[in-house]
Structure 1
Amino acid sequence: MISFIAGMFVGSLVMLVIMSMMFVAKQADEQSANWQKK
């Protein structure tokens, strides 16, 4: 049971990291696109 809870905890942390990385990549993508337009 403890290993299951630990796995859920690690899984949610990994999901948070992946989501934040995707968010940062999207923001940088939009900024570079706006920069190229100028």
Structure 2
Amino acid sequence: MLACCFQYVDLRTRYIELMTLSSQYIKFITINLQRLETEE
């Protein structure tokens, strides 16, 4: 029972990490695209 619980928490943590990384990645790309557009 506990093992299942720990596994779930681990998956949730990884999912949250993934979402955080994704949002940072998207922000990074967006900023760079805007920078490229302003340079042209």
Alignment partner of 1:35 is 2:37: yes
Aligned length: 38
Alignment partner of 1:24 is 2:35: no
CA RMSD of aligned residues (A): 0.8
The residue type paired with residue 33 of structure 2 is: Q
Same amino acid, percent of matched pairs: 8
Structure-1-length-normalised TM-score: 0.84
Higher Cα radius of gyration: 2
The residue type paired with residue 36 of structure 1 is: T
Runs of 5+ unmatched residues, structure 1: none
Divergent runs of 4+, >4 A: none
